[in-house]
Structure 1
Amino acid sequence: LSQVINDQVPVALTYIEGPETLITFHAGANDAIRPGYDARASIAKYQQAVRELSKSGATILLFTVLEDTGNKGRGSKIWKERFAEFNKAIREVGQEVGAIVSDANDLDFFKDNRFLAFDRLHLNAEGHWRVSQGVLEVLGYPSNPAWRIPLPPAKKTPWLKERYIGVLWFFLFALPWIWRRIQGKSSGDNRSAKYPAPISWPPVN
């Protein structure tokens, strides 16, 4: 969250030309899933950043985090509790500054872990497509209404396969995450931005 606020927000502000400029702001989710998460401090930083962005006169689009992803277990319970509080703060500051808020938490069909990648954390291609259509809809642009159609009922996964997938996930994602926390490292360390300088999209020939 601090990196986004300190490094990215000041640069974004230099490109704003009024309400025709759309700023999408989504930060703080990674902070919320860490062991030392300070909800009060993070929420205060987030809301202040949104207030600063709103002063620019740009159109602001905020995103909540899906509280119920269809995952189970103690970790999912902590996830739900933390993001319920964080999302409440997003909605509050969004209403305060007149921002658009993309919020899928009232859509029951999204509570399906088949929209998640194998890491059980990020969206897969289908999940991203549905979010993209939801964003177009909330912005008032043409969108494909099929994004609201639930997936067909899931077939029951054989017990042995389910255990195998769980063990594989633990060794590929959970254990490395725990090890990084012990070492005080992050998966984002030493990574650079995909687009370190602003680009035009679609690309201009």
Structure 2
Amino acid sequence: MTARFVALGDSFTEGVGDDDPSRPNGVRGWADRVAEELAAGESEFRYANLAIRGRLLDRVLAEQLEPALSLEPDLVSLYAGGNDLLRPRVDIDALAHRYDEAVARLAGCGATVVLFTGVDGVDDPVFRRLRGRTAIYNEHVRVIAARHGAIVVDMWAMRQLRDRRMWSPDRLHLNSLGHTEVAIAVLDALGVAHGLVPAALGPQPVVHPRLRRAEDLRWGREHVLPWIKRRLRGESSGDALEAKRPGLAPV
């Protein structure tokens, strides 16, 4: 029985893209969904979510690792490094070394550790360029998981996440449909029965190339340019935010 679930990471784990004004930081996300399913019928279950959007791997580990260990979790999830892969330069091998050290500490406390591979962006003309970086990162994650007995949720293999209908307008964050798919994958990997149902979207609609180009231009103007401006100013989308669930609490 899982009694204490602690989630670490960046916007993916915080739940960005899955808007819910009634929740802390205004988002829900896959981790909240997993916690809700784990809490069903378990009065002692507690959940903390330390993830904050925009965090690079080193900042995730510096800010969240020690607090997570202090909570003595029996289940912990960690996804970090995706924002690093978006930077012009990244040493993936060095990043993986620091990731490995963190996973070793989490596994060493006796918790079940859940890790994630990155999504395959093959169907997107922009994110397709990051496939090489993501594939190298994913191989490191698999090796780290094998070394420390962690569970891997293989989002690279989740072909449904290639469907743009699973993503928010910024194309960087999953929407409620996508977060539900990840929650299902996590619960299935843990061997936990649940009531979540995958989306039945049917075939992807065919979009005329002219309309696709117009959508791409609008996306660049509304989402890419503001992101670039924040990078140039040294700002992050999570600078003014705190963890939405900093301590273990009932769901």
The structure richer in strand per residue is: 2
Please report how far the alpha carbon of residue 130 of structure 1 lies from its aligned counterpart in structure 2 after TM superposition.
1.0
Pick closer, same or farther for the CA change 1:174–1:78 going to 2, 3 Å.
same
Is the Cα contact below 8 Å between 1:22 and 1:59 reproduced in 2? yes
What is the identity, as a one-letter code, of the residue corresponding to 2:205?
K
Aligned length: 195
Pick closer, same or farther for the CA change 1:104–1:92 going to 2, 3 Å.
same
Matches within 5 A, 1:12-161: 12-16=68-72, 21-68=74-121, 70-72=123-125, 75-144=126-195, 146-147=197-198, 151-161=201-211
CA distance in 2, matches of 1:110, 1:139: 20
Q: Rg bigger for which structure?
A: 1
Greater RCO (Cα-Cα under 8 Å, separation 6 or more): 2
Partner of 1:3 in structure 2?
59
CA distance in 2, matches of 1:137, 1:176: 37
- What value does the CA root-mean-square deviation take over the aligned residues? 2.0
Fraction of identical pairs, as percent:
33
CA distance in 2, matches of 1:161, 1:37: 34
Q: TM-score, normalised by structure 2?
A: 0.71
Is the Cα contact below 8 Å between 2:145 and 2:151 reproduced in 1? yes
CA distance in 1, matches of 2:108, 2:247: 22
CA offsets 1:119-148 (integer angstroms, 9 cap, x no match): 11110111111111111111111135853x
2:250 corresponds, among 198, 201, 205, to 201
Question: Structure 2: 5+ residue runs without aligned partners?
Answer: 1-56
1:165 corresponds, among 188, 193, 215, to 215
Is the Cα contact below 8 Å between 1:102 and 1:135 reproduced in 2? yes
Q: TM-score, normalised by structure 1?
A: 0.86
